[in-house]
Amino acid sequence: MSPSTLPLVRPPAPANPSLPPRRCPPLSAATLRAAPAASALAQFSRLRTKCRFSASGVREDYSSTPIDVVADVKTEKIVVLGGSGFVGTAICKAAVAKGIEVVSFSRSGRPSSYDPWADEVTWLAGDVFYARWDEVLVGATAVVSTLGGFGNEEQMKRINGEANTIAVDAAKEFGIPKFILISVHDYNLPSFLLTSGYFTGKRKAESEVLSKYPSSGVVLRPGFIYGKRKVDGFEIPLDIVGKPLEQLLSSVENFTKPLSALPASDLILAPPVNVDDVAYAVINAVIDDSFFGVFTIEQIKEAAASARV
C-alpha cells in the first residue's frame, strides 16, 4: 500500500466529554532538578520538570519530554557591617528568618549567642578601615551598615562618617546593587546643635549613600532604639522603658503633632522604635527594589509591617 493511501487513524476520544481539563500534578522536590548556576554570582535558577497526565476512558498515557523552565527566583545575600552589635544581630536574625543569606562583618566576629539562627550566619571578624572587600562582599546583593558610636569629636567623625563612607565606596566599586544605612533622627534640633561629630558623621555617610546609590540607596532614621541589648554578657532590657513610651506617644500623637514644628520638640515627642522594626524595615529594603531614599520613624514602622506579611 502506498503512503498516500494509508487510512487516517484518530486517537480515541474520552468516554466523558465533560471531563475537566488535564492538569499536571503539583511539582515536588522529586520532579524538580536545579540546573547548575552559571557562576557564583548567578541570581536566577533554571528548573527542569517532567509531567504525565491521563483521563478516564483514554487508554494512552501521554507524557511530555523534559523541558527547561526559567524561573525568576532571585536569591538575596546581604553583608551586615557591625552585624554582631545590638541592631546588627537583630538584622541578621530577621534576614535568616526570611531565608536570606547573611554575612556579618565586625571587629568582634561572632557574638556570644547560642541561638540556632546564629549558625546560619557567616561571621567575619575585621576592621572596616583594613577590610579585604573582595572577600567580604563576594556575591552580595546588598550591604547594610549599622556602624556608629560615641566618643570625642574625631572618633565620632571617624566611625559615623569615614567608616561608612569607605564602606559605600567599596560596595559601589565591587558592583553591589544596594546600600542600606542605619542613620539617626535629627530630633528637630537647630542646625547649630547638629554640628557634633556624631551628627555630622552620620549626615556625611547619608550624602555618600544617596549620591552613589540615587535609585537604590536607603537611609533609615530611627530615634531611640529599644529591645533587649546584651553588653559583656549582661542583658539590658531597654524595652522596659522603650515599649511603654512608644505606646504612650503613639496614643497622644494627634494632640502632639502641632508641637512637632517646635525646635528640639522631638527630644520628647519622637517615639522610640523597636529594634525588630528597624530590622524588618531593612529586610523590606533588601527585597523591595522600589524602596529607596530617606525614611522617618513612622515610615520605618510601616516598612517593617510590610516585610512581616
What's the distance, Cα to Cα, between the start and end of the chain in Å?
69
Q: What is the CATH number of the domain that holds 87?
A: 3.40.50.720
pLDDT digits (tens, 9 = 90+) for 100-154: 999 999 998 888 777 899 999 999 999 999 999 999 999 999 999 999 999 999 9
- Answer whether residue 106 is part of any domain: yes
Inside any domain, residue 228: yes
Cβ neighbours, 10 Å, residue 76: 18
Q: What is the pLDDT of residues 156-200, one digit of tens each?
A: 999 999 999 999 999 999 999 999 999 999 998 888 888 888 999
179 bridge partner residues = 143
CB-based contact 220:298 (threshold 8 Å): no
Q: What is the pLDDT of residues 203-249, one digit of tens each?
A: 999 999 999 999 999 999 999 999 988 776 677 788 788 888 888 88
Q: Which domain holds residue 227?
A: 77-308
Distance CA 217, CA 219 (A): 7
Q: What is the 8-class DSSP label of residue 15?
A: S
**Does residue 87 form part of some domain?**
yes
Cell of 29: 522536590
Asked if residue 22 is part of any domain, the answer here is: no
Least confident among 33-37, 89-93, 157-161, 235-239: 33-37
Proportion of the chain above pLDDT 70, given as a percent:
75
Residue 43 included in any domain: no
- What is the pLDDT at residue 300? 97
Domain-embedded: residue 138: yes
Q: What is the pLDDT, as a whole number, of residue 59?
A: 53
Determine, yes or no, domain membership for 139: yes
Quick check: 55 pLDDT over 60?
no
What kind and span of H or E run contains 163?
helix 163-173
Q: How many domains is the chain built from?
A: 1
Q: What is the pLDDT of residues 272-293, one digit of tens each?
A: 999 999 999 999 999 999 999 9
Specify if 59 maps to a domain: no
For residue 38, pLDDT beyond 80: no
